[in-house]
Amino acid sequence: AQSVTQLGSHVSVSEGALVLLRCNYSSSVPPYLFWYVQYPNQGLQLLLKYTTGATLVKGINGFEAEFKKSETSFHLTKPSAHMSDAAEYFCAVSEGYGNKLVFGAGTILRVKS
């Protein structure tokens, strides 16, 4: 079975600083990888996804992620944090029959002014 590990349940950055949220996955087949964002008491919104092709994927709100097969990683970055980026972020991998998503435990991003 596939699994997803997000290193750091809480990450704190200053406004304007680099955001780096880490995601590692285990998969025996080429993975389809996703990053979602969740604001308090709301559903999840897709930030970006990797399926095939270019390994550097650009998403909404200035976020991007790079698929590194050799490191089994799909880390999320943003060059300059904004206060509105404060939320919880989930990395997920699509798994087999039924196109189910397996999620990491999530990382809460705090942005300090």
Of the two residues 19 and 102, which places its CB atom closer to another protein in the complex?
102
User: Of 17, 22, 24, 44, which one interacts with another protein (CB under 8 A)?
Assistant: 44
Q: Which residue lies nearer to another protein by CB, 67 or 90? A: 90
Contacting another protein (CB under 8 A), which of 12, 14, 26, 51? 51
Q: How far apart are CA 14 and CA 80, in angstroms?
A: 9
The identity of residue 60, as a single letter, is I
Per-residue string for binding with another protein, 75-104, x by CB under 8 A? ---------------x-x-x---xxxx-xx
CA-to-CA separations, 102 to 1, 14, 62, 90, in angstroms, rounded: 9, 30, 25, 10
Q: In sequence order, which residues have a C-beta less than 8 Å from that of residue 53 and are 6 or more positions away?
A: none
Residues 78, 64 contacting (CB under 8 angstroms):
yes
Compose the 2-41 pattern: x for residues touching another protein by CB under 8 A, - for all others: --x----x----------------------x-x-x----x
In angstroms, rounded to a whole number, what is the distance separating the alpha carbons of residues 72 and 81?
A: 25
Residues forming contacts to another protein in the complex (CB under 8 A) are: 4, 9, 32, 34, 36, 41-46, 49, 51-52, 90, 92, 94, 98-101, 103-106
